[in-house]
Amino acid sequence: MKLVDKFTLCFLLIFFIVTPISIYSTHYSIKQRIDGVEIERLTKVNNEVALQLKSGISPDKYSQGRPISINTFPGELPKEKTLTEKQNYDQGDCRITVSSFYAIKGVNYKISSYNYVTQSSQILRGMLPVSLIKSLLMIVFVLIAARMLSRNILSPFNQSLAQMQKFNLRKKQPLVLAESNTREFKELNLLLKKMTDMAITEYGLVKEFSENASHELQTPLSVLRSKLELLADTNIQGNQAILIGEMQHAIEKMARINQSLLLLTKLENQEYEATENISFAKHIKSILGFYEDRIQMKALTLTTHISDDISLKMHPALADLLFDNLLGNAIRHNVKNGIINIKANHEAFVIENTGAAPVIPTEELFERFKKSDQCGESIGLGLAIVKQICELNKFNVRYTYHDGIHSLRVGFNGTTVADGAAFLAKV
């Protein structure tokens, strides 16, 4: 929900809460004012009649044709010199009667006068249509004004948001934000500028460090390889040959770790940009050709169901790397005379293989240096690279194990991958 919509909803909520209270208070105030004015007028009428009685003037002339009654009052006068009585009628009128008590020349009098005013319910009925029209107009004007004002007031914010969306760390171009005379937007722009400049600097330093570290490690690794090869050509004993073999194995593993970490850094920095669609099926079949010997050496049964029309927008090198890691894992972690099933269409890619059960939860195997102990040759970075490639290309990746079958599914373009026969039926 947009910011202007939230402000509009908050205002409308306040409006709907305040409006009934305002209508009730206005109605009450109007009714009290009408009744008060009429009671005050009737009290003055009673006082005028009482003055005429005190002056010895007959009030008949004044009271003739008016709703006034003059009666003697037996006994003592009440403490309240003026009493008011209201009576509602079905016709919508309310009768107000004001009775005043006076002692004039030793005689007690009760002088009463009355008049009809509009009932409160009638006043409310008259107010409701006007209030409803006013409320509708207010809602319409608020919605229109909010949209118009948001274009001007929130314009610097929207421009800054658009610039942030276009910001590319790899290009190392400083962020350029629009000027604003609003203090909050000024502070936001300063903070964004500071953060992006710092990110550009740190990105350059990290990239330079990773590249330098990788490059510098290659030299000692190459020296160690050559020295071990020279040492292997000399006269050595059996136990020395074993140690040399272990050292060579450790060096090769270190080289693979170095290359994998450098690759992960490049993936995290989004250095592989997809510029065009590729035929993913061709890449799968190409990688399969390289692994034919390894599949035969382990006596694995390979089954493929691959559609030829799989077109994906991703970097070709990443497509090769994705499938190479998955197929390599399927062979490395398989058992003798095991099976590998590969299924792919325009929605998803699935590779299944037999193998021992993982000793840790499958979702943890996507983390760096997390691996099952069933294969000591693994460096624990293959699935981390797979996950990073999938995140970079917005693919869904899922790894499950059931009844001796490892199943890794990659859904293209956010597709949720179906299981087993349901997916195979689509291929």
The closest alpha carbon to 342, from 414, 413, 410, 400, belongs to 410
How is residue 237 annotated by DSSP? -
How is residue 406 annotated by DSSP? E
User: Strands 301-306 and 339-344, how do they pair?
Assistant: parallel
What's the length of the chain?
A: 427
DSSP string, 306-363: E-TT-EEES-HHHHHHHHHHHHHHHHHT--TT-EEEEEE-SSEEEEEEE-PPPSS-GG
How is residue 364 annotated by DSSP? G
| φ, ψ at 271 (rounded to 5°) | -85, -5
Q: Is 386 exposed, middle or buried (0-12, 13-18, 19+ CB in 10 A)?
A: buried
- Tokens 């171009």 correspond to 173
pLDDT tens track, the chain, 427 positions: 677 777 788 888 888 888 888 888 887 888 888 888 888 888 988 888 888 888 877 766 666 666 888 888 888 888 888 888 888 776 667 888 999 998 888 888 888 888 888 777 777 777 778 888 888 888 888 888 877 777 777 778 778 888 888 877 767 778 888 787 788 888 888 888 888 888 878 777 777 776 666 666 667 777 777 777 777 777 777 777 777 777 776 676 666 666 666 666 666 666 666 667 888 888 888 888 888 888 888 899 999 888 888 888 888 888 888 888 888 888 988 888 999 999 988 888 899 999 888 878 777 777 766 666 545 555 567 788 888 888 877 888 888 888 889 999 988 865 555 544 444 445 4
d(CA 350, CA 345): 9
d(CA 61, CA 55): 14
Residues 6 or more apart whose CB falls under 8 angstroms from that of 297 comprise none
